[in-house]
Amino acid sequence: MATRLNFASLHAARIRAERDQLALLGGKIGETELLTWLKTWKLDAIDLPWRLWESISNLKFEQASLPTSIPLLERGRLFGEDGDLTVRRDGNQFRWWYVGKPSVVPKTILEAKETSAFWQQHPTPTLHTIEQSAILWGSHQGTDQDGKQRWYDDRVGWANLAYPVDVQTLQEHRHIYIRYREYLNAGQVAFVWIHGLGAKGN
């Protein structure tokens, strides 16, 4: 039997996003400058611990890492409670965008002429945010021969499902959820801020 949507509760879950508490930035960076540019963010001092690195041959989900081979990198995503930073290859450069706390954005990046700021270019929109979560692929299957924690799903049996989480925190839960905030403009999703992982959804 289908569940009826409660539109009143969905509407109540939306919170107006305050402009001075949300940075929405983007720009471009050359391939050879990317690693130095990432280090400019002082990643050891801010809360962006989760890292997704996609190369031409694999996808790694890690903690507190940097890409090992920039020439092979196609896309990267660093996220946590301070923000969500994405880089994506476009030829010999990377396009980047950031959704998160303004306080962690380096001044040199904020003031660079290549940086575009959404609020400056679009001064009138009002954004609303809503908390969301989605279950990640696979159920926890224990450890493999190398002692690494593994998740398995027969729909993607070939995939290397390894998530950088402390299994002790899962307790009786076998699944992992990714948590994110959607920023809506006139009811449509305009931005997404992934901010963490957990054993339960929202």
pLDDT tens for the chain, 202 residues: list them: 555 645 555 555 689 999 999 999 999 999 999 999 999 999 999 999 999 999 998 899 999 999 999 999 999 999 999 999 999 999 999 999 999 999 999 999 999 999 999 999 999 999 999 999 999 999 988 887 877 788 889 888 788 888 888 777 666 678 899 999 999 999 999 999 999 998 877 6
Q: Write down the pLDDT at residue 3.
A: 56
Q: What are the structure tokens assigned to 33, written together?
A: 């400058």
Q: Write down the pLDDT at residue 1.
A: 54
Query: What would the pLDDT profile of 89-128 be if each residue is shown by its tens digit?
Result: 999 999 999 999 999 999 999 999 999 999 999 999 999 9
CA distance 15 to 131: 9
For the chain, domain boundaries: 18-125, 130-198
β-strand partners of 50: 63, 79
188 exposure class (CB count in 10 Å sphere: 0-12, 13-18, 19+):
exposed
Q: How many residues does the chain have?
A: 202
